[in-house]
Chain A
């Protein structure tokens, strides 16, 4: 019940028009209980579960019904992606446009900016990652091994030559589930919406590819007397932090694209190679893993629901810093208020056992600068 209420609050908070709805489905999915397991009956029996998720496209709705046990994984993946995004951009003017810690995807999707590109990529990477992780937990029955459509021979296949990789499954599922909504609608070839759809799909793919690329083999030698003539490797998935780091560096080198007459993407700024860089026809290796964007970013200084920015008002800044988190930069020249804040924080902590740390409480007096 609380969840539905939350969703309601979200939609009131961001009563943005059609475009913001694009993001709403992420928010609603990210609110799924992360700790749901398919064995708990409360959700399995409730058929309208998928209907509770606002903003799913018809195709996504269908996949949700079929793979209901995957949905908490999608939610958890989205949530982790959002908190990683917040971590990566905590010092920037654009801080994922989310109220900190809420787990909502902000309304950044109106324009096809670099930031939108990053958000799509990290969300899709997060889902790929989490599905792959849950496969290893043994709670998703349909993971890995062969394609699911011929399970008769599965046992034989497995005995003969082993199983496939969990990340591949995560990749496939994320591709099906996230990209399906972009494929369902058909826009006129030269419309803006068509361009956005191409851009989203491209950036989703970059996020998934990064996850796959950062998946590294780890090996164990187990030949005679432990010698290395027999070696078995398994794929180890990256941490969310590694994914975030990789995507941020891609964000910095993101490429601007435009949609040409034929409705294909092409990179802006290479006029002499215009025909060659038409990369939907001639896929180039180095473009395939680059983020792409269509529009310039706003300065993210002011709250502007229509443009989809939350602004920097009320953000804490750092005096004397020379980085993007400095008060001059972050507050966009509007100045800042200085408060003295008394905080109680843990200190002199003593490790007791796994899940408890016994600390003393210390009183800290700090000055905080908040943007006007």
Chain B
């Protein structure tokens, strides 16, 4: 491989560059920590129970004036021939607060609904383990132009969920509450409407229940309440996030284009490593591209999926790049410089990403047509999802074990070769030292970035636990969730930009090229610079 920019850069310039990039990274963390609100918030809705025997499906709503008769299970006596289906659970989102009817905004990006079920212990009503809950759900929306009582149907469907409830043996007395885990209800990939309305019915087929007591809604115990918990991204966080992306995109694009033009100017075919760095640049540019602006004006439910895909692509590229980079620096290895040589190693990355892709397509992909779909609702789906996730995790684990093994091998090679290098002639030794330096620089950079990411992740977890501790302590870490997101996002952008800038082929290697960059101002006395750089970086790292 020809000499890269990094080998020809003076120490002073490198230090200056690293310092300014570190400052930029700190700014990213601070923006998240000081300006941005939490990434997401939630709102909880206890559903109002109404009786509705009408077979025509009119919308039942709570505001402006409740058009149904609320009922209470303690006193509810169903009419003869009635059915649990006559009970409608109603939630109108969002709430009224401070006398103001709040509304959802496209800035919220997504809307996630969870279902929380309250079941009371009753010796007469059996709650089966893993009982099936069947819901007839209707999700409606209203726009600003509609009159306040007009609702349009977004989707109407019947879904099943599996209950996961438990109660301690010694607490089993009337009115004691079961402890049930929260179920996924729906997920909207965009938030185009200001108001939503949910009507849920629980149909029971008595005849079928006689035959099969574990059928849907046959053994769900004494139902007390249903609640919906809605989760959305905060508008403030979206603003900060989009601003960051918009700001970073030109830089990443410029760096990628500049890098590719450098490669194109080479007289030889680009090496695999160079292609890998370029691919990393492209995947980051696509991750950064602020496509989300469109969702503020158009209804784009697929935005969440696209977002996932772009992130997945970037991670896959980053992991592959690390493998290729380490592989290309295994100096003894002769089978290099082609993707085929890496197929066994890359298989881990490919399988893991494919698994997650399949999972995402099965979950968020199908949710595009039916927001209430969940792969976890059926036992087959649950098993499939678990299988996919286990395979992906196993691949990721194997990948990291393998990567560590490879890095270890490179280190031992370097050690061995360094002893041998003393006998080499000056030119070869220098070239060899270059390769070592290049490797170590990236190693250091990667370790620093990964270290920062892990440290901020721990801080985020700590901050989140602080937020919910008994004493409401005011800690600066409480607001660290956003700082984690903006900080790490900025950090990995800087990482890739630095890679593109530093590992581009240097002008030094090809004659006749127009020197446009100030990177190689020092070319007048190459040896001196190289030696000084080497002396600064290689020696302390080895000793």
Stretch at the interface among B152-160, B223-231, B508-516: B223-231
Stretch at the interface among B16-24, B32-40, B530-538: B32-40
- Best-buried of B42, B70, B84 by chain A (most CB within 10 Å): B42
**A271 on interface, CB distance cutoff 8 Å:** no
Per-residue CB proximity of A218-250 to B under 8 Å, as 1/0?
101010111001111111100101000000000
> What 4 pairs across the A-B complex have the smallest Cβ distances?
A162-B41, A161-B37, A160-B236, A217-B468
- In addition to A145-B102, A232-B231, A234-B44, 12 A-B residue pairs with Cβ atoms within 8 Å of each other are A39-B66, A142-B99, A151-B100, A159-B107, A159-B108, A163-B97, A220-B229, A222-B40, A234-B229, A241-B176, A285-B471, A354-B223
A-B contact pairs, 7 of them (CB 8 A): A159-B105, A162-B42, A232-B41, A234-B229, A241-B177, A346-B124, A351-B124
CB pair A233–B464 under 8 Å, yes or no, is yes
* Cα of A359 to Cα of B123 in the assembled complex, Å: 12
CB distance from B439 to the nearest CB of A (A): 29
**A35 on interface, CB distance cutoff 8 Å:** yes
Question: Which of B39, B98, B209 sits near A145, CB closer than 8 Å?
Answer: B98
* Cα of A81 to Cα of B242 in the assembled complex, Å: 49
**A274 cross-chain contacts in B, Cβ below 8 A:** none
Q: A151-B100, A163-B43 are in contact. Are A138 and B62 (CB under 8 A)?
A: yes
* Cα of A233 to Cα of B114 in the assembled complex, Å: 12
Per-residue CB proximity of B73-102 to A under 8 Å, as 1/0?
101111000011001000110011111101
**B457 cross-chain contacts in A, Cβ below 8 A:** 229
Per-residue CB proximity of A161-198 to B under 8 Å, as 1/0?
11100100000000000000000000000000000000
**Closest partner residue, chain A, to B122 (CB atom):** A357
CB pair A222–B468 under 8 Å, yes or no, is no
CB pair B62–A216 under 8 Å, yes or no, is no
**A66 on interface, CB distance cutoff 8 Å:** no
**Closest partner residue, chain A, to B465 (CB atom):** A217
**A54 on interface, CB distance cutoff 8 Å:** no
CB distance from B197 to the nearest CB of A (A): 11
* Cα of A352 to Cα of B78 in the assembled complex, Å: 12
CB pair A37–B43 under 8 Å, yes or no, is no
CB distance from A308 to the nearest CB of B (A): 28
CB pair A35–B70 under 8 Å, yes or no, is yes
Per-residue CB proximity of B479-521 to A under 8 Å, as 1/0?
0000000000000000000000000000000000000000000
CB distance from A155 to the nearest CB of B (A): 6
* Residue count of chain B within 8 Å CB distance of chain A: 76
Query: Which A340-358 residues sit within 8 Å CB-CB of chain B?
Result: 346, 349, 351-357
CB pair A141–B202 under 8 Å, yes or no, is no
* Cα of A232 to Cα of B182 in the assembled complex, Å: 13
Stretch at the interface among B247-255, B356-364, B444-452: B356-364
* Cα of A137 to Cα of B70 in the assembled complex, Å: 12
**A144 on interface, CB distance cutoff 8 Å:** yes
CB distance from B151 to the nearest CB of A (A): 16
CB pair A349–B124 under 8 Å, yes or no, is yes
* Cα of A250 to Cα of B48 in the assembled complex, Å: 34
Question: Which of A133, A233, A353 sits near B42, CB closer than 8 Å?
Answer: A233
**A146 on interface, CB distance cutoff 8 Å:** yes
**A239 cross-chain contacts in B, Cβ below 8 A:** 176-177
**B126 on interface, CB distance cutoff 8 Å:** yes
**Closest partner residue, chain B, to A134 (CB atom):** B46
**A199 on interface, CB distance cutoff 8 Å:** no
**Closest partner residue, chain A, to B97 (CB atom):** A145
**B312 on interface, CB distance cutoff 8 Å:** yes
**B403 on interface, CB distance cutoff 8 Å:** no
**Closest partner residue, chain B, to A289 (CB atom):** B470
Query: Which A300-351 residues sit within 8 Å CB-CB of chain B?
Result: 346, 349, 351
**A136 on interface, CB distance cutoff 8 Å:** yes
Q: A39-B65, A234-B44 are in contact. Are A355 and B98 (CB under 8 A)?
A: no
CB pair B44–A136 under 8 Å, yes or no, is yes
**A141 cross-chain contacts in B, Cβ below 8 A:** 96-99
CB pair A37–B99 under 8 Å, yes or no, is no
CB pair A161–B177 under 8 Å, yes or no, is no
CB pair B124–A359 under 8 Å, yes or no, is yes
CB pair A160–B235 under 8 Å, yes or no, is yes
**A143 on interface, CB distance cutoff 8 Å:** yes
CB distance from A144 to the nearest CB of B (A): 6
CB pair A161–B91 under 8 Å, yes or no, is no
**A5 on interface, CB distance cutoff 8 Å:** no
**B31 on interface, CB distance cutoff 8 Å:** no
CB pair A161–B234 under 8 Å, yes or no, is yes
Q: A161-B236, A346-B124 are in contact. Are A138 and B95 (CB under 8 A)?
A: yes
**A139 on interface, CB distance cutoff 8 Å:** yes
* Cα of A266 to Cα of B249 in the assembled complex, Å: 65
Question: Which of B75, B112, B360 sits near A222, CB closer than 8 Å?
Answer: B112
Per-residue CB proximity of A97-135 to B under 8 Å, as 1/0?
000000000000000000000000000000000000111
CB distance from A230 to the nearest CB of B (A): 6
**B308 on interface, CB distance cutoff 8 Å:** yes
**A143 cross-chain contacts in B, Cβ below 8 A:** 95, 97
**A158 on interface, CB distance cutoff 8 Å:** yes
Of the four ranges (under 10, 10 to 19, 20 to 34, 35 or more), the interface on chain A belongs to 35 or more
* Cα of A235 to Cα of B42 in the assembled complex, Å: 9
Main secondary structure of the interface of B (DSSP, over half): mixed
**A231 cross-chain contacts in B, Cβ below 8 A:** 464
**B44 cross-chain contacts in A, Cβ below 8 A:** 136, 166, 234
Q: A141-B96, A155-B100, A213-B470 are in contact. Are A234 and B42 (CB under 8 A)?
A: yes
- Best-buried of B116, B218, B231 by chain A (most CB within 10 Å): B231
CB distance from A366 to the nearest CB of B (A): 18
- Best-buried of B43, B91, B95 by chain A (most CB within 10 Å): B95
CB distance from B71 to the nearest CB of A (A): 9
- Best-buried of B63, B97, B363 by chain A (most CB within 10 Å): B97
CB distance from B225 to the nearest CB of A (A): 9
Q: A145-B97, A346-B124, A354-B202 are in contact. Are A163 and B234 (CB under 8 A)?
A: no
**Closest partner residue, chain B, to A227 (CB atom):** B356
CB pair B98–A154 under 8 Å, yes or no, is yes
**B97 cross-chain contacts in A, Cβ below 8 A:** 141-145, 154, 158, 163
CB pair B38–A138 under 8 Å, yes or no, is no
**B244 on interface, CB distance cutoff 8 Å:** no
Per-residue CB proximity of B305-316 to A under 8 Å, as 1/0?
001100110000
Question: Which of A139, A155, A161, A235 sits near B38, CB closer than 8 Å?
Answer: A161
**B38 cross-chain contacts in A, Cβ below 8 A:** 161-162
Q: A141-B97, A353-B84, A354-B84 are in contact. Are A155 and B102 (CB under 8 A)?
A: yes
**A136 cross-chain contacts in B, Cβ below 8 A:** 44-46, 227
**B129 cross-chain contacts in A, Cβ below 8 A:** none
CB distance from B483 to the nearest CB of A (A): 13
Question: Which of B92, B100, B182, B312 sits near A138, CB closer than 8 Å?
Answer: B92
* Cα of A235 to Cα of B363 in the assembled complex, Å: 27
Per-residue CB proximity of B99-133 to A under 8 Å, as 1/0?
11011010110001010100000001110000000
CB pair B124–A357 under 8 Å, yes or no, is yes
* Cα of A251 to Cα of B376 in the assembled complex, Å: 45
**B467 cross-chain contacts in A, Cβ below 8 A:** 217, 233
**Closest partner residue, chain A, to B356 (CB atom):** A225
**A1 on interface, CB distance cutoff 8 Å:** no
Question: Which of B96, B103, B223, B360 sits near A225, CB closer than 8 Å?
Answer: B360
* Cα of A364 to Cα of B73 in the assembled complex, Å: 28
**B65 cross-chain contacts in A, Cβ below 8 A:** 39
* Cα of A137 to Cα of B24 in the assembled complex, Å: 46
**A12 on interface, CB distance cutoff 8 Å:** no
**A166 cross-chain contacts in B, Cβ below 8 A:** 44
CB pair A357–B125 under 8 Å, yes or no, is yes
* Cα of A167 to Cα of B46 in the assembled complex, Å: 14
**B378 on interface, CB distance cutoff 8 Å:** no
**Closest partner residue, chain A, to B468 (CB atom):** A217
Question: Which of A163, A229, A355, A357 sits near B84, CB closer than 8 Å?
Answer: A355
**A134 cross-chain contacts in B, Cβ below 8 A:** 46
**A2 on interface, CB distance cutoff 8 Å:** no
- Best-buried of B37, B43, B48, B308 by chain A (most CB within 10 Å): B43
**B415 on interface, CB distance cutoff 8 Å:** no
